Structure 1
Amino acid sequence: MGRLYTLFRWEMNDLIKAILLFFGILLAGMSMKQSLMGVNNSMGFASGTDIQLFGASRSTGVSTAIQGLLSLDDVWTLLSFLVLLLGALTFRYDRDSGVARSVYSLPYSNDEIFGVKLLSFFIYGFLMILLPFVYVALTTYASIAGYLPEITSNFLGDALLLVTFLVLYLISVATLVSLASPNAFLAFMVGFAIIYAPRILGNSSIPPQLFIDAISRSGSSNFTPFTAQYLGWGLLVPLALFALSWVLIRRRDVV
């Protein structure tokens, strides 16, 4: 376990990925904040007003605004861009830079290296997405932070599950294209083409648009994320892509 922890710490302490994480959180937070302030201004009350002062209708407005944070097309385009960059840095850049020759010469199996890299990718990816949301929501409604669990309880569970499905899909695509591509630049370009194509074509039946549109419907009485479509794209497809990635990393060398 100590050997794997050393490898994990090395992956998590990567300076380039840490810088990308920092700027990703900053940019996503700024985009969310701008959108949220626009919603608050149109609703006619200042952020931070106590929930007891604006009643049930305004409470619904807060809920809608917070739900909107998780379904912003522009934010998800930016985050998809950053997740693909993280994938290229995690699984391809070390090969391009020659660092992989040193790593793979250490007493670690390909399975161990793949598992540690994937775990670090998961952590970076989810932090980049969840931290801006939590920070913006809490700071914008600081004076009613204690009420937020009640206000958002009708949709937050389903919305976060859909976000998890979406992030799993993004990470699985980024992992596979990074391992299959000959260099980090091509890995990013191919991955972004796969992720962005449905939006260009106006196809909302496949990710990421499938999950982005579904987030805005979370909490509706006739909506559930536990359908074959969402579970298939959010769990089965990522698992298949991760399995292909695992096979690929076992079969290729470090060049």
Structure 2
Amino acid sequence: MGRLMNLISWEINEHLRVLVTVIGIIAVAIILQHGLLTSTGMFGTVSTSVSGLPSMSGMVLVRAATSSGLWITLSFFTAVLAAFTFRSGIEGGYELTLYSLPYRKYEIFLAKLFTVFLLSLSLLFVPMFVLIPINFADTPGFVLSLFTGERFIVFSVLLLLGILYIISVTIFLAVSLRSMLAALVVAFPVLVTPYLLNANLPPSSFLSKAQVLALVKGHIFLKFLPQRSIVLYGIVLPGVLILTSLVMVNWRDVK
């Protein structure tokens, strides 16, 4: 485990990867803040009478965090991180040095996967956890009820599954096409088209489900997470794509 953590640390601290992540966080934060301000003007805020996502302030957050503009931007930076992590070393010629170290191919794959997942989560959740307390600083009780509420947990899980879908598609394309540019050229239209066509396809479909969280009564976990489309597109399909990518990496030469 210690060897794997060293490899993960090396992957995370690669300077270009860090630069892309920082730029992505700033871009997502700007769009999220704009969405919060716009939604506040549309819905207003009523945080004292109702807590958590069911409040009007919760609706402001949901609308801002699930906007198509934010997720198109998030898809772009996540796809760049995934393609860059899995292809830049090979195309740059220095990946052979990594594979010459006493690591198995699946360990290197898992380290890269964890790195992409962690950095991609930071693209969305760092702006969220910074901007929400700032924008609702006058109602700290609402912020606490939001972050500790069951609905926010399910809301975060749906957003996480959307990110996982983006990562799995890009990694599969990067590994199968063996080209960072080709992976991005194919992945970005695949990921963005559902937003442009307003189609009920992932990752857009996860956002439409997340938007109704504040309106549904009853046990949220049972109403949302077991749904067939969520299990299929959020767990099964990403799992299959990642497993297939791992098999391809493990059974062929590094190139």
Which of 205, 213, 235 is equivalent to 1:210?
205
Which of 66, 70, 75 is equivalent to 1:71?
66
| Residue aligning to 2:179 | 183
Q: Percent of aligned positions with the same letter in both sequences?
A: 24
| Residue aligning to 1:28 | 28
- CA–CA distance in structure 1, aligned partners of residues 39 and 196 of structure 2: 26
- CA–CA distance in structure 2, aligned partners of residues 137 and 186 of structure 1: 37
Correspondences of 1:1-255 after superposition (within 5 Å): 1-43=1-43, 51-52=47-48, 55-56=49-50, 60-151=55-146, 153=149, 155-204=151-200, 206-219=201-214, 220-221=216-217, 223-255=223-255
Instruction: Tell me which amino acid in the other structure corresponds to 1:185.
Output: L
Question: Cα offset for 1:93?
Answer: 0.8
Preserved contact between residue 67 and residue 156 of structure 1 (Cα < 8 Å): no
- CA–CA distance in structure 2, aligned partners of residues 170 and 42 of structure 1: 30
TM-score by length of 2: 0.89
Sort the Cα spacing of 1:111 and 1:43 in 2 relative to 1 into closer, same or farther, 3 A. closer
Q: Deviations over 1:154-193 (max 9, x none)?
A: 6312211211211111111111111112321111111112
Preserved contact between residue 70 and residue 215 of structure 1 (Cα < 8 Å): no
- CA–CA distance in structure 2, aligned partners of residues 234 and 80 of structure 1: 15
Unaligned runs of 5+ in 2: none
TM-score by length of 1: 0.89
Sort the Cα spacing of 1:44 and 1:247 in 2 relative to 1 into closer, same or farther, 3 A. closer
Instruction: Tell me which amino acid in the other structure corresponds to 2:100.
Output: S
- Over the aligned positions, Cα root-mean-square deviation in angstroms equals 2.2
Instruction: Tell me which amino acid in the other structure corresponds to 1:32.
Output: L
Provide the aligned length of Structure 1 versus Structure 2. 248
Preserved contact between residue 172 and residue 238 of structure 1 (Cα < 8 Å): yes
Instruction: Tell me which amino acid in the other structure corresponds to 1:4.
Output: L
Question: Cα offset for 1:2?
Answer: 3.3
Instruction: Tell me which amino acid in the other structure corresponds to 1:23.
Output: I
- CA–CA distance in structure 1, aligned partners of residues 88 and 133 of structure 2: 36
Question: Cα offset for 1:215?
Answer: 1.0
Q: Deviations over 1:220-239 (max 9, x none)?
A: 13852321111111101111
Q: Deviations over 1:81-129 (max 9, x none)?
A: 0110001111011111011111111111101111111111111111111
Instruction: Tell me which amino acid in the other structure corresponds to 1:30.
Output: I
Q: Secondary structure at the match of 1:143?
A: coil
Unaligned runs of 5+ in 1: none
Preserved contact between residue 93 and residue 184 of structure 1 (Cα < 8 Å): yes
Preserved contact between residue 47 and residue 57 of structure 2 (Cα < 8 Å): no
